[in-house]
């Protein structure tokens, strides 16, 4: 393996790091969804890993297919740009839908007082939230039927790694299979490790944040943040 391939692999690793760090869509959805749904860190990292893996492998597969079919780089880049636009709009749509669902849930769970009258004439009030009734049953059911991780996975598989295809084309053009594998692996590993590191540190830090009365709006806030991260990808190119 020549020195040029090693340089390209190092460049791929650097680009993978910056590509992930500067793209809030790579980590923000997992951080806020994890906080809102009270996932364990292990579950958050597992879902994030699978989404990151699908994110990288989908672009690798497209690049290898393009190489095998002799498709020009600019055509593959156009395909990746189209995938990126669709993925951004899916993220925007998911965030907005999750925001509306979270807002509806918060309104239904609005605290209110109930007056209690006892036979001895004593009267007292207590704070009550309908959304918390039978939580021991419904929380377990929600965990079993939650589609959120699968929605995130689908969005990330569709989302491209735009810088990857031009990088792997060079070693492929030199007929270096080992070079293609090394470059793709360097990009993919650094991308996923960067994702998981940011998510782990941010999830740990945000676990100390107490929202108080706004806690019931945690799902709505998560949806709003995902919505705006999708907008930043689509319109700011992050």
pTM, two decimals, is 0.81
Tell me how far CA of residue 218 lies from CA of 17, 33, 48, 103, 211, in angstroms. 29, 9, 20, 9, 8
Q: What's the distance, CA 135 to chain centroid?
A: 27
Which residue from 129, 134, 132, 101 is spatially nearest to 218, judged by alpha carbons?
Answer: 101
Give pLDDT tens digits for 40-98. 999 999 999 999 999 999 988 888 888 888 778 888 888 888 988 999 999 999 999 99
Cβ neighbours of residue 64 closer than 8 Å, sequence gap 6 or more: 168, 180
Neighbours of 51 (CB within 10 A): 23
- Phi, psi for residue 215 in degrees, rounded to 5: -60, -35
- 6-45: buried (b, 16+ CB within 10 Å) or exposed (e) per residue? eebbeebbebbeebbeebbbbbbbbbbbbbbbebeeeebb
Which residue did the predictor score with more confidence, 141 or 42? 42
Give pLDDT tens digits for 158-216. 888 878 888 877 777 676 788 888 989 999 999 999 999 999 999 999 888 777 777 88
Q: What is the C-alpha to C-alpha distance for residues 4 and 43, in angstroms, rounded to an integer?
A: 39
Q: What is the C-alpha to C-alpha distance for residues 73 and 36, in angstroms, rounded to an integer?
A: 41
The residue ranges of every structural domain in the chain are 3-109+134-236
Give pLDDT tens digits for 99-118. 999 999 888 876 645 455 55
Q: Which pLDDT value is given to residue 109?
A: 77
Q: How confident is the model at residue 154 (pLDDT cuts 50, 70, 90)?
A: very high
Give pLDDT tens digits for 6-36. 888 999 999 999 999 998 999 999 999 999 9
The whole-chain average pLDDT of the chain stands at 83
């Amino acid at each position: 393996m020549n020195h040029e391939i090693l340089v390209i692999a190092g460049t791929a690793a650097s680009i993978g790091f910056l590509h992930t760090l500067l793209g809030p869509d790579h980590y923000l959805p997992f951080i806020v969804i994890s906080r809102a749904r009270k996932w364990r860190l292990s579950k958050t990292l597992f879902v994030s890993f699978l989404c990151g893996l699908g994110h990288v492998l989908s672009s690798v597969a497209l690049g290898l297919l393009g190489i095998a079919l002799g498709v020009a780089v600019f055509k593959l880049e156009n395909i990746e740009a189209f995938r990126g636009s669709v993925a951004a709009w899916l993220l925007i749509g998911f965030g907005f839908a999750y925001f509306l669902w979270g807002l509806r849930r918060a309104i239904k769970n609005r605290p209110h007082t109930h007056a209690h009258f006892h036979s001895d004439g004593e009267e007292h009030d207590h704070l009550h939230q309908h959304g918390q009734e039978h939580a021991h049953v419904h929380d377990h059911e929600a965990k079993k039927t939650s589609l959120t991780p699968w929605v995130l996975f689908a969005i990330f598989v569709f989302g491209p790694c735009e810088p990857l295809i031009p990088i792997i084309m060079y070693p492929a053009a030199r007929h270096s299979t080992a070079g293609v594998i090394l470059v793709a692996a360097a990009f993919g590993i650094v991308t996923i490790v960067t994702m998981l590191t940011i998510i782990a540190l941010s999830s740990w830090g945000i676990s100390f944040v107490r929202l108080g009365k706004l806690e019931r709006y945690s799902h709505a806030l998560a949806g709003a943040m995902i919505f705006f991260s999708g907008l930043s990808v689509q319109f700011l190119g992050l």
